[in-house]
Amino acid sequence: MKLSTKLYLLLYAVDVATTIYRRLSSHTTNEKENNMKTTRYKFEQAVQEVKPETTEWLRDEFKAILESEKDYTRKADYIGFSLTSLDSKVVSLDEEIKELHNLKKKLKSAKDLALTIGAEVFSIYGIEKIDGAGISSITITKPTTKSKEKFEILDSDALIDAGYVKTVLDEEAVARAFEENDPLVQQYCELSVIETATPAKLKINKRRSSNNTTKANFTEEIAS
């Protein structure tokens, strides 16, 4: 078997392995998504999909729950569990994003290493170019060297003595002097109050003994 044929088969095997890996990764991701999924009830769905332009729909859902014949304990559980369901999903997404970032770094590093090793092997066999069927060709780039200037101060004190300094306002000292009613500082400074309005929000106070089973039971009961 010719060397070019062997290399072609090797590249084909790598391509097949990559395809299998992608399919397995996709299957793993789908499994994780399925594990994250639970039964979403009407109000829970309304909470998770609310947007500034759809707030009226969520208001109607709140009203429907409060005006229902269920007792307030069950109403509280249904509303509370529906709202806190977002927390677990955010945590899961954070973990997924972290894993994807790590996987991205590994794949980029692996590709770069594979390209470098491939170039070394091609060079050993004196191969500069291989034409492909699915791709145009594989060639070898020329090695390059990048130079970058690095500025470093060897003696700071000597440069300071030579006059290479600048005066910067000490804002912390000025603030302290202002609080102490320093006339000069108060002449050139002013204190203003900036108010930021925060609307009233619901606060979900969780019980220490609360668990997923209790959540599911209460949510299913009140939603029925």
Residue 24 lies in a domain: no
Number of structural domains, the chain?
1
* Tokens found for residue 140: 């070898």
Q: With a cut of 50, which residues of the chain have pLDDT below it?
A: 1-3, 6, 27-29, 31-38
Q: Are strands 129-131 and 137-139 parallel, antiparallel or unpaired?
A: antiparallel
CA-based nearest residue to 82, from 21, 137, 40: 40
Q: Answer whether residue 123 is part of any domain.
A: yes
Q: Is residue 10 part of a domain?
A: no
Any domain includes 174: yes
Backbone angles phi, psi at 141, to 5 degrees: -80, 155
Q: Is 39 within 8 Å of 165 (Cβ atoms)?
A: no
Residue 44 confidence (pLDDT) = 86
In this structure, is residue 206 part of a structural domain? no
pLDDT for the residue numbered 91: 93
Full residue range of the structural domain in which residue 144 is found: 38-194+212-223
How confident is the model at residue 33, as a pLDDT? 44
Inside any domain, residue 31: no
152 dihedral zone (left: phi>0; alpha: psi -120 to 50; beta): beta
Query: Residue 126 and residue 122: Cα distance in Å, rounded?
Result: 6
Residues 24, 27, 32, 34, Cα dihedral to 10°? -170
Query: Whole-angstrom Cα distance, residue 203 to residue 195?
Result: 22
Residue 180, domain member (yes or no) = yes
pLDDT at 19: 59
In a domain? residue 147: yes
